[in-house]
Structure 1
Amino acid sequence: MGTNIFLIILAFILLIVVLSSFVTIQQGTIGVTTIFGKYNRILHPGLNWKIPLIEKIFRRISIQNRSVELEFQAITVDQANVYFKAMLLYSVWNQDEETIKNVAFKFMDERSFMQALIRTIEGSIRGFVATKRQSEVLGLRREITEHVKEQIDTTLEQWGFHLQDLQMNDITFDDAIMRSMAQVVASNNLKAAAENEGQALLITKTKAAEADGNAIKIAAEAERTAAQLRGQGVALFREEVAKGMTMAAKEMQQANLDTSVILFSMWTEAIKHFSENSKGNVIFLDGSADGMDQTMKQMMGMNKLMDPSQQKK
């Protein structure tokens, strides 16, 4: 009876030992084992065998990407407080044994590692911002990120990690500074709008002046052309009148008629034309004896000018 109980207990112990000799490592994880507190080897994902009771799992290290959000403060060279919000993405450098040993034994625990990582990034950013003015910081987002990446990547490699990405999600200042910056932006926008409006008004005025100038030039050219045409028309009219009067005078001379009749006819036709085309209602003519005598003398003078025989004398 006692022997059976002993055998049962022994079998149970052996079962426990056998079961404890196998360990499962999850995908995306590397196991680190120790024997009597000293590093022994690494275990890859899947079912692994280990020395029972002696070999222990010291740490399971994730080789997947990890992310952490950071919030911290820095001070510029002109004593302005700057508040940063950043996102850090990192991972184990590789799965080599030396790298895994570095990750497993460099820090006492994960908390110590995160504290060192955050303080290193904060120190790098604060050192960079301390050399810049408040007005420069917002425009240096990319430069700040590149500066931190350059410094933190080397440090992380010494710890067995690799920096995947660092993003500055938000950069803000104290409320008073933010209000003053908003006022500066608003005033600059108003200034730009005023300048644009002035430029637009200048362009409009210039175009209008050019249009007016072109219109004046076109009108002047048209008036000059019209004046030329009117002058040519008057000249042609006078030429035709002269030809007609000459022909009429010649015909009247051949018929032994007095050429003053032509002048009298022109005078009556002129009066008729005035009465038909004038807008007035009254035509004033000097009907006195002196007036008629003066008119006849003028007509006789015209007759002498038109008579070639009288011109020769």
Structure 2
Amino acid sequence: MVEIKYILIGVAVLLLIFSFVTVQQGTIAVVTMFGKYRRIMKPGLNIRIPFFERLNNRVSIQNRAIEMEFQAITQDQANVYFKAMLVYSVLNAEEETIKNVAFKFVDQRSFIQALIRTIEGSVRGFVATKKQAEILLLRGEIVADVKESLDHTLETWGFHLIDLQLNDITFDAEITTSMAKVVASNNLKAAAENEGQALLITKTKAAEAEGNAIKIAAQAEKEAAQLKGQGIALFREEVAQGMTEAAEKMKAADLDTSLILFSMWTEAVKEFAEKGKGNVIFLDGSVDGMEKTVKQMMGNDLLKK
């Protein structure tokens, strides 16, 4: 009896031990009984019926990533090589979704293969409608098209696509070389256009500056001539007034006014000598000639006034 008691206690302990199951955070356990789905277990400590309920699968509800490399052909028959990273996860933690994820595919490997092939087919279908020159500019459009076309399919599997990152898009060496030449020629063309525009602006500004300088010089010359004329006129006016006053004083003193002419003559000769700059000027030194010359000078001054 004692041995049977210990055996029963041992069996009870084993049943108790096998009755508790720990489910890790970020996963949900799928329980079956006699090969049929029964229920799910959430993260933490759970109780099951020993030897009858079995943990068929543990479904991760965390984000998962897959790296892919594949090839596509454009509308103009150019080969495009993609390196991409796919980020996906279980749609939600509801029981029906977890049940779908656990039993939709034979195993995880089959699901991953189906997911990769589906995405590759979607990208290839999009690329086949575009030309090679457009592909590099359509990263965002490719991702958006893939997500739009796959959302419903992945939902039926219990998953959803979080992100598709096209990390690298390359072409055959010949295409890459030709693309580089096109870019280089476009850059040279743009540089030439910019240089032409800069030269045009420089010449335009130089012409404007030269025109403004000419206008300023002409205005200054005009003002200088006006000031010079005003000064000469004022000088002549002062000379005439001084000569008139001197003549009146000489007449009042009963002196010969010809002294004024003689004085003007000598001043003129002195001015010619100082400012003649080596030029030869012939003057009549006789009394009649002096008087005639002075009168002519005064006549010219009057005409200029």
- Shared fold per TM-score greater than 0.5: yes
Q: Measure, in 1, the Cα distance between the counterparts of 2:170 and 2:274.
A: 92
- Which residue in 1 is equivalent to 2:115? 117
Report the CA distance between 1:76 and its aligned residue. Answer: 0.5
Q: How does 1:70-219 map to 2 (within 5 A)?
A: 70-219=68-217
TM-score when normalising by structure 1: 0.86
- Which residue in 2 is equivalent to 1:292? 286
1:194-228 CA distance string (max 9 Å, x none): 22222222222221211111111111111000000
Gap change, CA 1:60 and 1:276, over 3 Å in 2:
same
TM-score when normalising by structure 2: 0.88
- Which residue in 2 is equivalent to 1:227? 225
Gap change, CA 1:184 and 1:302, over 3 Å in 2:
closer
**What runs of 5+ residues in structure 1 fail to find an aligned partner?**
306-313
Gap change, CA 1:33 and 1:276, over 3 Å in 2:
same
Counterpart secondary structure, 1:86: strand
- Which residue in 2 is equivalent to 1:276? 274
Does the CA-based 8 Å contact 2:29-2:57 persist in structure 1?
Answer: yes
Does the CA-based 8 Å contact 2:81-2:169 persist in structure 1?
Answer: yes
Q: Measure, in 2, the Cα distance between the counterparts of 1:303 and 1:201.
A: 58
1:18-69 CA distance string (max 9 Å, x none): 4333322111111111112111111111222222222211111111111111
Q: Measure, in 2, the Cα distance between the counterparts of 1:284 and 1:236.
A: 27
Gap change, CA 1:178 and 1:132, over 3 Å in 2:
same
Counterpart secondary structure, 2:76: coil
Does the CA-based 8 Å contact 2:261-2:291 persist in structure 1?
Answer: no
Matched, 1:265 2:263: yes
Gap change, CA 1:303 and 1:169, over 3 Å in 2:
closer
- Which residue in 1 is equivalent to 2:63? 65
Does the CA-based 8 Å contact 1:85-1:168 persist in structure 2?
Answer: yes
- Report how many aligned residue pairs link the two structures: 299
Gap change, CA 1:100 and 1:301, over 3 Å in 2:
closer
Counterpart secondary structure, 1:117: helix
CA RMSD of aligned residues (A): 2.6
Q: Measure, in 2, the Cα distance between the counterparts of 1:125 and 1:40.
A: 39
Identify which range, 267-276 or 168-177, moves more after superposition: 267-276
Report the CA distance between 1:135 and its aligned residue. Answer: 0.7
Counterpart secondary structure, 1:220: helix
Instruction: Write the letter of the residue equivalent to 2:182.
Output: V
Q: Measure, in 1, the Cα distance between the counterparts of 2:62 and 2:283.
A: 125
1:173-209 CA distance string (max 9 Å, x none): 1111112112221222222222222222222222121
Instruction: Write the letter of the residue equivalent to 1:295.
Output: G
Q: Measure, in 1, the Cα distance between the counterparts of 2:180 and 2:298.
A: 98
Matched, 1:245 2:248: no
Q: Measure, in 2, the Cα distance between the counterparts of 1:24 and 1:139.
A: 50
Counterpart secondary structure, 2:115: helix
Does the CA-based 8 Å contact 1:87-1:166 persist in structure 2?
Answer: yes
Q: Measure, in 1, the Cα distance between the counterparts of 2:202 and 2:245.
A: 63
Q: Measure, in 2, the Cα distance between the counterparts of 1:135 and 1:300.
A: 95
Identify which range, 48-57 or 88-97, moves more after superposition: 48-57
Does the CA-based 8 Å contact 2:23-2:46 persist in structure 1?
Answer: yes
Q: Measure, in 2, the Cα distance between the counterparts of 1:15 and 1:300.
A: 153
Identify which range, 245-254 or 121-130, moves more after superposition: 245-254
Report the CA distance between 1:4 and its aligned residue. Answer: 7.6
- Which residue in 1 is equivalent to 2:303? none
1:119-139 CA distance string (max 9 Å, x none): 111111111110001111111
